[in-house]
Amino acid sequence: MSDADAALHAALATVERRNPGQHLFRQAAHEVLESLAPVVKQHPEYVEGAILERMVEPERVISFRVPWVDDSGKIHVQRGFRVQFNSALGPYKGGLRFHKTVDEDTLKFLGFEQVFKNALTGLELGGGKGGSDFDPHGRSDNEVMRFCQSFMAELAHHIGEYTDVPAGDIGVGGREIGYMFGQYRKITGRFESGVLTGKGIGYGGSWARTEATGYGLVYFVREMLRETDYSLEGSRVVVSGSGNVAIYAAKKASQLGATVVGCSDSSGYVVDEEGLDLDLLCDVKEVRRERLSAYASDRSSAEFVDSGSVWDIDCDIALPCATQNELDGDAARTLAENGCRVVAEGANMPCTEEAVHVFQEQGVLFGPAKAANAGGVATSGLEMRQNAGRLQWDFERVDSELDRIMTNIHATAASTAEEYGMPGDLVAGANIAGFRKVADAMLAQGVI
């Protein structure tokens, strides 16, 4: 075994020994380390500098109690976290997730992925992630507000525009960011707009941040298709989820001439052969905050299905935009058999490792999350720039910067894959390019 292989095995063994039961984090670490052999072989300084061991250990994990009172007066206690993973390239940056499944494992996997994704954006962003096992489903605005205030009462001690800048993720959108920003301002007595991103347009937010992850995903797909016989125009697209990422991915895909025939939520999926009515979908999911079945009740061309999987729908392009491990080996085989040619990840780690191998074996073009969904955090980086300059760019300017960044990320992942002898393998290309940027910054900054 070469020194490089031995170092990679040792790093993985350390992850497994130190993180018993943390299957998501172990999966994410395995998926990255598996693709680094060629680069570690060429650069013994990464092994000598213990870069692998340092990278798989978060700089800091903060865990705290979040008590809150519901509308009936009952007291609940949730767990809150912030995982500050790596700050070699900038302040920790990454979203907050409010979902009943959130635990330390979930946030370590997300924080680890975020480090490499943020490096690919080319902006000064370290990586982190946070959140809570609070379940916002069915909660009133006042309950959500009280929870956000309690969560921020502790988080405020750990964040700041130069230290750690949270944003949204599952269960955290404009409403929650607003409540948390208000509480941060009250606790610190400072209007520090760069402390959170995804803020409202009227108080320091950036145009196009709401749309950015979904739009960026579709810009990335457009780049993937550039030198192929396929195009978005005239294609059948299926997205999973029906939240922030899914809705704006569907919107941009439709604008570019695709028909988006399906989407899902945790209760089932919808097939709509006429193409999703995105205004209705936004109304059901974002304004009324109802289940997806309400969409089908309001639209005669749509059918709601509460069994099977959204990946059973025939499509040319599949965009998983809901959650981790939502697309497994069987779903990947079904998609490939049904003629799907392109899969790009809007969610974080939505495809299992087996699914990714199926796509690679079957010649389905595959865009990994770290590259394909980086548009959200990239636009957060643009929001931080606007906040630092105390100005606000217009929608067109932010959108065109986003497009440029996504085009660059695709070019970097593709050229890195080629440089290391794996042409077309955007997984390896994205992992290696992100890793090198962080590793070089860590080496330059010494053993800290």
List residues with catalytic annotation: 129
Which residue lies nearer to ligand 2IT by CB, 143 or 169? 169
| Closest distance to ligand NDP from the beta carbon of 241 (Å) | 3
Q: Does 352 bind ligand NDP (CB under 6 A)?
A: no
Q: Please give the residues from 32 up to 61 whose contact with ligand NDP meets the rule CB under 6 A.
A: none
Contact of residue 121 among ligand NDP, ligand 2IT, none (CB under 5-8 Å per partner type): none
Spatial contact of 89 and 441, defined as CB atoms under 8 Å apart: yes
The residue sitting closest to ligand 2IT, measured at its beta carbon, is: 95
Tokens of 7: 């170092």
| 80, 111, 128, 171: which one binds ligand NDP (CB under 6 A) | 171
The sign of the torsion formed by the CA atoms of 299, 301, 306, 309 equals negative
Is there binding between residue 210 and ligand NDP (CB under 6 A)? Answer: no
> Up-side HSE of residue 206: CA atoms within 13 Å toward CB?
32
> Residue 94 binds what, of ligand 2IT, ligand NDP, none (CB under 5 to 8 Å, by partner type)?
ligand 2IT
265 binds ligand NDP, rule: CB under 6 A: yes
Q: Closest CB to ligand NDP among 297 and 415?
A: 297
Q: 171-197 in b/e burial notation, b at 16+ Cβ within 10 A?
A: bbbbbbbbbbbebbbeeeeeebbbbbb
Query: Half-sphere exposure of 140 toward its Cβ, with a 13 Å CA cutoff?
Result: 7
Binding stretches for ligand 2IT (CB under 6 A): 93-95, 114, 117, 167, 169, 197, 348, 376-377, 380
The residue within the footprint of ligand NDP, chosen from 90, 127, 131, 241 (CB under 6 A), is 241
**In the bound complex, what is the minimum distance in angstroms from residue 93's beta carbon to ligand 2IT?**
5
Interface residue with ligand NDP, options 334, 352, 373, 412 (CB under 6 A): 373
Q: Which of 121, 150, 193, 244 is close enough to bind ligand NDP by CB under 6 A? A: 244
Indicate the residue among 309 and 323 with the shorter CB distance to ligand 2IT.
323
Q: Minimal CB distance to ligand NDP: which residue?
A: 243
Minimum distance from residue 295 beta carbon to ligand NDP (Å): 11
Total residues found in the chain within this entry: 448
170 binds, among ligand NDP, ligand 2IT, none (CB under 5 to 8 A by kind): ligand NDP
Residue 40 vs 216, nearer CB to ligand NDP: 216
Return the number of the residue (164 or 425) whose C-beta is nearest ligand 2IT.
Answer: 164
Footprint on this chain of ligand NDP (rule: CB under 6 A): 95, 168-171, 173, 213, 241-246, 265-267, 321-323, 346-348, 373, 376
